[in-house]
Copies of this chain bind each other. A is one copy, B any other.
């Protein structure tokens, strides 16, 4: 047996069955030029054609699904998905989520560069509808802040809803720039450090609401200089977190 035969043996036979199926399905999609919205054959059909159990086939399908290539729905079938890098960057940041302190400062830097860098494009593609959506998020933040002010403990859990709104604000801000990769990175970066900020001070919240109000005002006035200043203020102005307890 030649070396070539052996290597192909290894790559074909030694490989786990579900991975072979995974590859074959990807090839099938490329070969048949399936586009988003198109459907794969049914599980039964494919497992029959490929000569594998439905179980193994499903493992391959789930692997395809988690990467965002397809999505399967009961009663419908397995549908090719739109191009989407969200999962990629999400798993990128998952792997880096070790020492939180360091990762936090790293993500902040990346966010700062990206958001300030794409500021002009965000401004140019801004629409009244997007501004309205942004306003919604700020309202949520503001409501969360006021609710918080009533309570005693200034650090109890409530970061969740506040940071969801904060994340949404920034994702919406760049949504019209029509840059999938930028949006994926921003989403991923946000999902990453939201994780680390469950407990937070009132003073931080208050400052944060102010910053976002500034940004919205600039957008409403369609004043780029003011927008730019507000964005820089958002990222560059820090302050001592004074523990109120």
Contact = CB atoms under 8 A, between A and B. Distances in A.
Nearest to A55: B55
Interface in A54-84: 55, 58-60, 62-63, 65-67, 69, 83-84
Interface string A102-134: 010011011001101110000000000000000
A185 interface: yes
Given A62-B59, A91-B88, A180 B113 contact: no
Given A30-B94, A103-B180, A106-B182, 14 more contacts: A22-B66, A55-B58, A59-B59, A59-B62, A60-B62, A63-B63, A63-B65, A67-B91, A69-B91, A88-B92, A109-B179, A110-B114, A113-B113, A113-B118
A117 B84 CA distance: 25
B181 A106 contact: yes
A66 B61 CA distance: 11
Interface size class of A (residues with CB under 8 A): 35 or more
Interface of A: 18-19, 22, 26, 30, 55, 58-60, 62-63, 65-67, 69, 83-85, 87-89, 91-99, 103, 106-107, 109-110, 113-114, 116-118, 179-182, 184-185, 188-189
Contacts of A181: 92-93, 96, 103, 106-107, 110, 189
Contact of A114 (B59, B91, B114): B114
Contacts of A67: 66-67, 91
Contacts of A93: 181
A122 to B, nearest CB: 12
Contacts of A94: 26, 30, 69
A184 B107 CA distance: 12
CB-based closest 3 A-B pairs: A113-B117, A63-B66, A59-B62
